[in-house]
Amino acid sequence: MNKVAVIDYGMGNLHSVTKAIEYVGRDLGEDTEVLVTSNAQDISQSDRVVFPGVGAIRDCMAEIKRLGIDNKIQDAIKEKPILAICVGMQALMKQSEENQGVQCMGLFDGRVKLFGDPLLDSENNIMKVPHMGWNQVRQTKNHALWRDIPDDSRFYFVHSYYVETEDNEKVAGITNYGLDIVSCLSKENIFAVQFHPEKSQKMGQTLLRNFLTWDGRELC
């Protein structure tokens, strides 16, 4: 039995994530139990953890701290694979400039910034914010979760803020939307994505399938 804990702190697209993981688990032909939870024991007894998130980072961090999710994730990081999605990825950074500045969990160096106001493309045309829709991800390092996913594959994004870091060794993917932004981070047994794999059709399913079989080591 492959037990997956999807962390519930009231801010994630939990139904879509859960259904996508269940679908991929069935496709793998193995028993996969997906539990939506904020309970420390459930998270501890799982084989792997998904940390989703949507909405304002201030509200997300308030709920994360109220429920002790930050401590539970710190414990989980010590022993099992973790996939962070969208605001879940942003919450792992040191800080965000959203809502006049919010301290985040600090598991990755860097911060979360607002797209330019206005955001312009290379020909000085105004680009829409939020960044919403399909876009390419350029893979910048080898990783087990990129297995069977061609470089520059397209994934589905919905976000107004983006991650910036100077720790290039942790960057696993780059996407251009007016500027190059970090769309994937990896460190040991953590893989974090700005896009939504649960909404990204075949490539998203492939990434989730790789996550369900991942042993927590970066290289294939």
Q: pLDDT per residue over 96-129, tens digit each?
A: 998 889 999 999 999 999 997 788 888 888 999 9
> What average pLDDT score do residues 139-156 get?
98
Q: How many domains does the chain have?
A: 1
The mean predicted confidence, pLDDT, of the chain is 92
- Any idea which of 51-65, 100-114, 196-210 has the lowest mean pLDDT? 51-65
Q: Report the residue count for the chain.
A: 220
Q: Is there a domain that residue 120 lies in?
A: yes
> What average pLDDT score do residues 37-62 get?
90
Query: Annotated catalytic residue: which of 131, 143, 159, 196?
Result: 196
Q: Are 82 and 73 in contact (CB under 8 A)?
A: yes
Specify the pLDDT at position 118.
Answer: 83
| CATH number of the domain within which 122 lies | 3.40.50.880
Q: Is there a domain that residue 74 lies in?
A: yes
**Does the annotation mark 196 as catalytic?**
yes
Q: How far apart are CA 26 and CA 207, in angstroms?
A: 15
The owner of tokens 């139990």 is 33
Q: Is there a domain that residue 217 lies in?
A: no
Domain range for 147: 2-212
Q: Is there a domain that residue 103 lies in?
A: yes
Q: Is there a domain that residue 192 lies in?
A: yes
pLDDT digits (tens, 9 = 90+) for 157-170: 999 999 999 999 99
Specify the pLDDT at position 6.
Answer: 95
Q: Is there a domain that residue 86 lies in?
A: yes
Q: Is there a domain that residue 19 lies in?
A: yes
Specify the pLDDT at position 220.
Answer: 56
Query: Annotated catalytic residue: which of 33, 123, 198, 218?
Result: 198
Answer with the residue of higher pLDDT: 117 or 143: 143
Query: Annotated catalytic residue: which of 60, 86, 104, 184?
Result: 86
**Does the annotation mark 220 as catalytic?**
no
Q: Is there a domain that residue 32 lies in?
A: yes
**Does the annotation mark 198 as catalytic?**
yes
199 pLDDT higher than 90 = yes
